[in-house]
Chain A
Amino acid sequence: MVHIFWWVIFPYITLTIMILGLLYRYAFRQLSWAAPSTEIFEKKWLKIGSPLFHWGIIIAFIGHVMGMVIPHDFYLSIGVSDHLYHIGAIAGGGLAGLMVVAGLIILLIRKATIDPVRVHATFADFFTVLMLIFVAGTGTYMTLIYNTTVVAYEYRETIGPWFRSLFTLTPAYGLMTGVPLIFKIHVASAFALFASIPFTKLVHIFSFPVRYPARAPQQYRHRSNYRRQGL
Chain B
Amino acid sequence: MRIKAQVAMVMHLDKCIGCHTCSVTCKNTWTNRSGTEYMWFNNVETRPGPGYPRRWEDTDRYKGGWKLHNGELKLRAGGPITKLANIFYNPNMAKLDEFYEPWTYDYDNLIHSPKSENLPVARPVSQITGEYIDKPEWGSNWDDDLAGGSEIVPLDPNVEKLQEHIQMEYEKTFMMYLPRICEHCLNPSCVASCPAGALYKRDEDGIVLVDHDACRGWRFCQNGCPYHKVYYNWKTHKAEKCNFCYPRTEAGLPTICSETCVGRIRYIGVVLYDADKVKAAASVEDPQDLYEAQLGCFLDPFDPEIQEKAREHGINDAWLEAAKESPVYKMAMKWKIALPLHPEYRTLPMVWYVPPLSPIMNHITNEDELNTDGYIPAVDQMRIPVEYLASILSAGDTNVIRKVLLKLTAMRVYMRGKTVGGIDEFRQSELVTQAATSPEEIEDMARLLGIAKYNERFVIPTGRREMDDDLYEQQGTCSLEELAPREGVNPAYGYMKVRENL
Contacts and interface: CB of A to CB of B under 8 A. Distances in A.
Interface of A: 30-43, 46-47, 50-51, 53-55, 115-116, 119-120, 204, 207-209, 211-213, 215, 217-225, 228
A34 B195 contact: no
B81 A43 contact: no
Contacts of A42: 95
B245 to A, nearest CB: 15
28 contacts: A30-B212, A30-B213, A31-B236, A32-B236, A34-B217, A34-B238, A35-B217, A36-B217, A39-B93, A40-B93, A43-B93, A47-B89, A51-B88, A116-B96, A116-B129, A204-B217, A213-B80, A217-B75, A218-B188, A218-B201, A219-B191, A219-B201, A220-B203, A221-B202, A221-B211, A223-B203, A223-B204, A228-B487
B257 to A, nearest CB: 22
B216 A213 contact: no
Given A39-B90, A41-B128, A218 B191 contact: yes
Given A40-B219, A209-B216, A220-B4, 18 more contacts: A30-B212, A30-B213, A30-B214, A34-B217, A37-B232, A39-B90, A39-B93, A40-B232, A50-B89, A204-B217, A212-B80, A213-B79, A213-B84, A218-B191, A218-B192, A219-B200, A222-B468, A223-B468
Nearest to A119: B129
B312 interface: no
B283 to A, nearest CB: 12
A34 B80 CA distance: 19
B89 A228 contact: no
Nearest to B86: A51
B401 interface: no
A47 B196 CA distance: 22
B199 interface: yes
A116 B128 contact: yes
A153 B402 CA distance: 79
Contact of A215 (B187, B197, B203, B213): B197
Most buried by A among B216, B236, B469, B487: B216
B491 to A, nearest CB: 11
Nearest to A43: B95
Interface in B44-100: 75, 79-81, 83-84, 87-91, 93-96
B213 A31 contact: yes
A51 to B, nearest CB: 5
Nearest to B189: A217
Interface in B82-136: 83-84, 87-91, 93-96, 128-131
B140 to A, nearest CB: 15
Given A34-B236, A36-B237, A115 B218 contact: no
Nearest to B83: A212
B138 interface: no
A34 B4 CA distance: 32
A41 B95 contact: yes
Contacts of B192: 217-218
A209 B195 contact: yes
B454 interface: no
B235 interface: yes
B217 A221 contact: no
A218 B187 contact: yes
Most buried by B among A32, A55, A120, A217: A217
Interface residues on B, range: 35 or more
Contacts of A30: 212-214
A25 B397 CA distance: 53
A224 B204 CA distance: 10
A228 B497 CA distance: 13
B234 A225 contact: no
A110 to B, nearest CB: 12
Contacts of A39: 89-90, 93, 95, 219
Given A43-B95, A225-B468, A212 B128 contact: no
A45 B232 CA distance: 19
Interface string B175-195: 000000000000110011011
Interface in B200-247: 200-204, 211-219, 232, 234-238
B290 to A, nearest CB: 17
A34 B235 contact: no
B495 interface: yes
A222 B315 CA distance: 12
A33 B128 CA distance: 22
A51 B89 contact: yes
B201 A55 contact: no
Contacts of B463: 223
B461 to A, nearest CB: 14
Contacts of B84: 209, 212-213
B128 A54 contact: no
A40 B89 CA distance: 11
A31 B235 CA distance: 11
B218 A209 contact: yes
A29 to B, nearest CB: 10
Contacts of A47: 89, 91
Nearest to B75: A217
Contacts of B232: 37, 40
Given A209-B84, A209-B218, A221 B203 contact: yes
Nearest to B213: A30
Interface string B131-148: 100000000000000000
Given A37-B237, A40-B95, A40-B234, A46 B203 contact: no
A153 to B, nearest CB: 32
A203 to B, nearest CB: 9
Contacts of A115: 129, 131
A75 B360 CA distance: 83
A135 B129 CA distance: 31
A103 to B, nearest CB: 9
Listed from nearest, the 6 A-B pairs whose CB atoms lie closest are: A209-B195, A34-B217, A217-B192, A213-B80, A30-B213, A34-B237
A126 to B, nearest CB: 17
A41 B90 CA distance: 13
Nearest to B74: A217
Contact of A35 (B75, B191, B237): B237
A212 B195 contact: yes
A119 B131 CA distance: 10
Contacts of A211: 197
